[in-house]
Amino acid sequence: MSAQTYNNIRRILFSTANNSEKGFSVAYDWMEKTYRHQLDQRSYVGLMAELRFYERHGRDFCLTVAGDMGEHADFAGMYGSRPARFDVTTNIGFKKFGDYEPFMGTGPSYKIALLDQGNFEVIDVLDLAFPRCNFCGGYLFPAIVLLGQNYSRDGESQWTNDQLLIDVCAGCEEYIEKNRFSHFGLFSPQEHYNAFAGSDDDEFAAESAEQHVISAYKYFRRQHSDYLMAVGSHNYKTTEPRGGGYWTINFNFVNAAVANEMPSEIECPNEI
């Protein structure tokens, strides 16, 4: 399944649920008959949890559905008398989450709505929390790095790109590799930009690359990490006239909740 497929299906289901002539029953029906087989199990469960949370608690929390572009959580709403953002999950292990430390950040408070995977009832509404770095005690924020296309030893394109799931320590500005994925045609931000740039509308290319990054964020958050906070890319930064410099991971998108604490780049090897 591609990031685009996932985001399209989400958009269709929520606009169906919001449509007064169709509503939730039609959205659930389409989900089961049409979309379920296009999604993998994890995306299916995640989207069902979002729909159920919206249906049952939309009024209590004054929820509005975040679109699939540029927004930082699944829903915006109110928690008590305060504005809040809500992300929905079915995957937080309570045991693991118990070791995390609440993170307040800046701006509206950020809540994690934990739903049961079986019946999609809300189990709890939690504060955003992250584990701490073993070395410096800083927060560890999960991020996904969209790497460039894979080539064989003979220089032939493999038509795949890898993505690296990392924990970024906001204290020592190091990262820990957690997992690696490979997708067909999921370009790095620069590759996506290059595909559209060149003629005369570079602004369009920049906007398109930005949307590509956010679409990947939404997809990976649902698919591989419940509290993913950033999307990055792997770049060579030139600092000297003769081309000397260093390799970095830069963040193209950072969730507003952690924007003040996230390093803007981290040094890294040229092969990651």
Would you tell me which residues interact with Zn ion (CB under 5 A)? 133, 135-136, 138, 169, 171-172
Residue whose C-beta lies closest to Zn ion: 133
* Shortest Å, Cβ 130 to Zn ion: 12
Least separation in angstroms between CB 102 and Zn ion: 18
Amino acid symbol at 166 = I
Tell me which residue of 229, 248, 230 sits closest to 238, measured CA to CA: 248
Q: Cβ closer to Zn ion: 146 or 170?
A: 170
User: CA-CA distance, 213 to 2, in Å (whole number)?
Assistant: 13
Q: Which CB sits closer to Zn ion, 105 or 131?
A: 131
The vertex-178 CA angle with 177 and 181, nearest 5°, equals 100
Cβ 166 to Zn ion shortest distance, Å: 13
Nearest distance in Å: CB 144, Zn ion: 19
What is the strand order of the sheet 230-238 is part of?
175-184, 157-169, 140-151, 230-238, 245-254, 265-267
Q: Which is nearer to Zn ion, 88 or 133 (CB)?
A: 133
| CB closer to Zn ion out of 105 and 171 | 171
Q: Which is nearer to Zn ion, 138 or 189 (CB)?
A: 138
Q: How far apart are CA 63 and CA 54, in angstroms?
A: 7
Shortest distance in whole angstroms from residue 135 CB to Zn ion? 5
Rounded to 5°, angle at Cα 196 from 202 and 188: 110
